[in-house]
Amino acid sequence: MARGLSRADISDDILSRWRELEARSLEGNAYLSPHFVMPAARHLNPDADLVFVLVSRSGDSGDELCGLGVFERRHGDRHFPLPYWRAYKSRHSFLTGILVDARFPEAVLDACFAFLKQERLAIDFPECLAEGKLADHLRQAAARGGWLWESRYEINRAFMVPDRCGDSYIDATVSPKSRKRLRSQANRLAQQGEMSWQLSRGEDPDCVERLLELEHMGWKGEEGTSLRAGSGDEAFFRAMVAGFSGERRIFFTELRVGGEVIASTVNLISGKRGFAFKMGWNPAFAPFSPSILNVLELTRQAGTELAELELVDSGAGEGSFVDKLWEGRYTVAAGAFRHASLPGPVLGGIRFLRQLRDRLR
């Protein structure tokens, strides 16, 4: 059974069952965690018309939450000129999708698509995984329900597998020229003071403050896009960190020189997957590439520090420096499902408007 709720309907009981669902979902997704969605909705998108689609089944101890998707009701725009629903994506989200209980993927997605068919003409998914178990089940459920997928674009995103990492992994993935340059930068940086690196689990107030400060120091601060640049963004971040920290599903990495932290990252955990979220560095040390050296050390030690994770999603775009460090790749797509029963004249009007838009561009 699937039903739609507003944000005002999300009770503490639903939040508890949501957390349990995330832990047993087919694929982890930190950006669909209640620890992420609820602070983001409150502080980043307070006026968004959100719909929480819950799929439940009856069990011995009552209804059990087996699937959950968060969508935003949208009016027509350049992607779709008619009203539609869009998978929720805040400005700090790097992946959308649906949480699906690994035990019942077919039943959950069939119920979800059946519910969505009653509500809107199209369901938009920006930045969703286009491969893997969830993507396969989504395509199969869509085909069963008469939905068609229309892709706007696809990109490759880097990830790492911790149990494959270490010095030999770095030697195999980073070119000799790049390794030589990084060693030179590390040696020159060490001349500024003793170097050290640390990974910290859970909430450390000092780590939080240093990350916020370092991220704001760089170009994001100058452009007004850092977490500290907006009160809503910083409030979201602090609330989000507190939620993940309560379950020890967050970790920071820090690179120090002479006792001073010059580069930092914050990373989230959902299920058996990690998600690189934000990073910052001190621009005064930019000639030494401190942020790259920080991620390089994480790559070197991930097999020990993150042994329980099956992979860590970089969240980075194509061409980033992480592409040169992490060899894993999967496809992230943006597109929409529309139902095949959409009347022909409506589809023709949509195509005409898109063609007109393209000509005007």
pLDDT tens per residue, range 301-325? 999 999 999 999 999 989 899 988 9
Shared-domain flag, residues 66 and 211: no
Query: Are 152 and 33 in the same domain?
Result: yes
- Looking at residue 82, its pLDDT comes to 78
Q: How far apart are CA 68 and CA 24, in angstroms?
A: 12
Reported confidence tier of residue 359, pLDDT bands at 50, 70, 90: low
For residues 353 and 287, membership in a common domain is answered with no
Domain assignment present for residue 143? The answer is yes
- pLDDT at position 105 is 97
Looking at residue 118, its pLDDT comes to 86
Whether 95 maps to a domain, the answer reads: yes
How many CB atoms neighbour CB 201 within 10 A?
Answer: 13
Residue 279 within any structural domain of the chain: yes
pLDDT for position 360: 52
In a domain, 339, yes or no: yes
- Give the CATH number, domain containing residue 108: 3.40.630.30
For the cut 80, the answer to whether the pLDDT of residue 97 exceeds it is yes
Q: Is residue 67 part of a domain?
A: yes
Is residue 338 within 8 Å of 121, Cβ to Cβ? yes
pLDDT at 206 (0 to 100): 94
Gap between the Cα atoms of 256 and 202, Å rounded = 19
Does residue 184 have a pLDDT over 50?
yes
The closest of 63, 60, 73 to 11, measured between CA atoms, is: 63
Same domain, 181 and 270: yes
On whether both 137 and 88 belong to a single domain, the answer is yes
> Is 171 found in the same domain as 140?
no
Q: Which amino acid is at 259?
A: G
More confident residue, 225 or 79: 225
d(CA 182, CA 170): 11
Do 151 and 13 lie in a common domain?
A: yes
Phi then psi dihedrals of residue 124, to 5 deg: -95, 135
Read off the pTM: 0.92
Asked whether the predicted pLDDT for residue 101 surpasses 50, the reply is yes
- pLDDT, tens digit, 9 for 90 and up, residues 243-290: 999 999 999 999 999 999 999 999 999 999 999 999 999 999 999 999
Q: Whole-number mean pLDDT of the chain?
A: 92
The answer as to whether 325 is a domain residue is no
Residue 315 within any structural domain of the chain: no
Indicate whether 181 and 151 sit together in one domain. no
CATH number for 197: 3.40.630
Q: Are strands 311-313 and 273-281 parallel, antiparallel or unpaired?
A: parallel
Q: Is the pLDDT at 348 greater than 60, yes or no? A: no
Supply the range of the domain harboring residue 218.
162-309
The predicted-structure confidence for 125-154, as pLDDT tens digits, reads as follows: 999 999 999 999 999 999 999 999 999 999
Number of domains making up the chain: 2
Q: Is the domain of 152 the same as that of 191?
A: no
Same domain membership, residue 265 and residue 185: yes
Residue 88 CB partners (closer than 8 Å, separation 6+) = 37, 41, 45, 48, 50, 70, 71, 72, 96
Q: Are 262 and 195 in the same domain?
A: yes
Could you tell me if 132 and 209 lie in one domain?
A: no
